[in-house]
Amino acid sequence: MADDVKSVQQLEEKLRAQLEQSDLFKDWQSVNKTLSLLKNGYSLNGSETATGNDLVIPQEFSEDLTWREKVLFALGKIKSGFISDIIKELRKHGIKETDDFLNKRISTTASKSKSDGLIGGKKVGKQAKYFLKNK
């Protein structure tokens, strides 16, 4: 019986390792985390739905940061940049999601953060360049 459990556990670990290499699995993990946040009173941009106007720039990167916090963290490092610059900075810190996913998520989060007054942004051609506002 103990050998059966050990054998199944080894199989589970092997399958998990293979799944974690898949972009689809990483996208699923991100969607699952987002769903969990929504169920706990957060909006899609990562802020609490009740307020969300407190500007706190994380000093250290963590996968546990909300998407809003990840954008603020990246802007804190690069000072200002386009969506592609924010993504590049986040990639330096281990973000693994696909480029398509990140473009959509970071664009939505940065745009919402700008409309909430937390960050600034100005149009440069057809793109927006985002920056932290001075307190």
pLDDT digits 0-9 by tens, 73-122? 999 999 999 999 999 999 999 998 999 999 999 999 999 999 988 899 99
The pLDDT-based confidence of 49 (bands split at 50, 70, 90) is very low
- The per-residue pLDDT for 35 is 67
Ordered DSSP codes for 70-100: HHHHHHHHHSEE-HHHHHHHHHHTT--S-HH
> Which option is the CATH number for 2-132: 1.10.10.10, 3.40.309.10, 3.40.50.720, 3.30.870.10?
1.10.10.10
Domain ranges of the chain: 2-132
Cα distance between residue 104 and residue 81, in whole Å: 16
117's enclosing H/E stretch is none
pLDDT tens digit string along 4-36? 888 888 988 888 788 888 888 878 777 777 766
pLDDT of the residue at 44 = 60
Alpha carbon distance 27, 85 (integer Å): 21
Q: What is the pTM of this model?
A: 0.60
Q: Read off the tokens for 124.
A: 């440069």
Select from 60, 76, 62, 59 the least CA-distant residue to 113: 76
What is the C-alpha end-to-end distance of the chain, expressed in Å?
63
- Note the pLDDT of residue 51: 40
Q: Which helix (H) or strand (E) holds 50?
A: none
